[in-house]
Amino acid sequence: MEKKDIKNLIIIAIVFVGFYFLPAESGRVFKALNESVQMMSEYAKAHVLLCLIPAFFIAGAISVFVKSDSVMKYLGAAASIVVAYSVASVSGAILAVCSCTVLPLFAGIYMRGAGLGPASAFLYSGPAINVLAIIMTARVLGPELGIVRAVGAVLLSVVVGLLMAFIFRKEEKQRMSAFEMETDGDQVDLWRIVLLIGSMIGFLIFANWGAPQGDTGLWQAIYSVKWYAAGAFFIITVVSAFLLFKKEMLKKWLQSTLDYTLRVMPLLFIGVLVTGFLLGRPGNEALIPSQWIAGLVGGNSVFSNFFASVSGALMYFATLTEVPILQGLMGAGMGKGPALALLLAGPALSLPAILVISKMLKWKKTLTYVGIVVAVSTVAGIVYGMF
């Protein structure tokens, strides 16, 4: 029997045992099933059309139009550490997407030659270094926590990347040496690629620009014109695609986009359903009672910070929803250290994201990445809680 068959058999056995012992007659189980469906419905309405689909097209464009030598120049093993991690963290901060939307983009740069370290830094920074979420954190939870979250997220993105690169340095050396540097074939002018991918990123940013909470300044002004800006970027994307690229390359782009969609989307849907069944939506209980979680994150012990980090790593946070969740938990007695730990681990990870990452990196690297994020978030929470 092959390893793949054994793994599938174990998965089937776990699912069987779970359903066998599931108290189907329990009211809480029915409520959890309803939460699972409700979360899936909200996810489909809020994230698929405006977040995931643009991200899939961007990832497909990176795979087809961007040559591996260009990616490796800035994010590869031979690139300067300062340049590689600066590009990775800044790119993630500019995109400001959730943990699921960043996955196709991560896959795109990783498969085009980005080193595991910079790619991991990008994977963490995209959801964690969200300018709007940090501003909202400062307004709702206090400026101190907002500043610490911003600084911590930037520093941790680099730490996570460096640790991943160090732990898997031998495997990475083999992967990078075996990577083909694509300099032949269809050459596309850099400005055309920048225009196409840049316009898609512009659409992704403005189409998902959230409403500021009580803000009448710059962020509110941008929000008021978000759809005009998103529409302009969409038109630029369509026009540039048809006018600046050959039909054969457009077909390759669509095929690459489809490949990413088929690889990522099913696992995301499964992860969202499972998360909804276990934890429910913000303010709604599912199988696991919310008071259990609230009661375990009080004070500033190692366990409370660790539990907050693990809980954040498994929960799914739509963009900006982590702030009201933290507000409720802190009102129920959650300590400031665990609050920061959850803020640092939660947006960057989720059960759906973990399932997809395992498809790209395999479970060894995935569990290491999750472990590092949980560990550094726990330490950051403990240190912050001490002061």
Taking only the tens place, the pLDDT of each residue in 342-368 is 989 988 888 888 988 998 898 999 999
Q: What is the pLDDT of residues 53-96, one digit of tens each?
A: 988 898 888 888 877 777 777 887 778 888 888 888 877 666 66
pLDDT in tens, 203-237: 988 888 877 766 567 778 888 999 999 999 999 99
Least confident of 58-67, 163-172, 272-281, 318-327: 318-327
Mean predicted confidence (pLDDT) in 97-113: 81
Q: Are 112 and 66 in contact (CB under 8 A)?
A: yes
What is the per-residue pLDDT for 96?
60
Average pLDDT over residues 330-346: 86
* pLDDT at residue 184 in the model: 46
Question: What is the average per-residue pLDDT within 194-206?
Answer: 91
Is residue 181 over pLDDT 70?
no
Task: Give CA–CA dist 363/310, Å, rounded.
Answer: 17
Q: What is the pLDDT of residue 214?
A: 62
Q: Tell me what the mean pLDDT of segment 328-342 comes to.
A: 83
Task: Give the range with max mean pLDDT: 146-150, 174-178, 281-285, 330-334.
Answer: 146-150
Report how far residue 58's alpha carbon sits from residue 255's, in angstroms, rounded to the nearest whole number.
Answer: 13
Q: Is the pLDDT of residue 153 over 90?
A: no
Q: What is the pLDDT of residue 195?
A: 94
Q: How confident is the model at residue 168 (pLDDT cuts 50, 70, 90)?
A: very high
Arithmetic mean of pLDDT, 155-175: 91
- Distance between CA atoms of 64 and 255, rounded to whole angstroms? 10
Q: How is 159-191 classified by DSSP, letter by letter?
A: HHHHHHHHHTHHHHHHHHHH-----SS----HH
More confident residue, 285 or 374: 374
What DSSP assignment string belongs to 320-354? Answer: TTHHHHHHHHHHTTB-HHHHHHHHHHTTT--HHHH
Domain ranges in the chain are 27-188+245-386
Q: Which pLDDT score, from 0 to 100, does residue 92 have?
A: 64
Asked if the model's pLDDT at residue 262 lies above 90, the reply is no
Please tell me which of 5-14, 220-229, 284-293 the model is most confident about, judged by mean pLDDT: 220-229
The lowest-confidence range among 114-128, 158-172, 357-371 is 114-128
Between CA 136 and CA 134 the distance in angstroms is: 5
Residue 225 φ/ψ, nearest 5 degrees: -115, 15
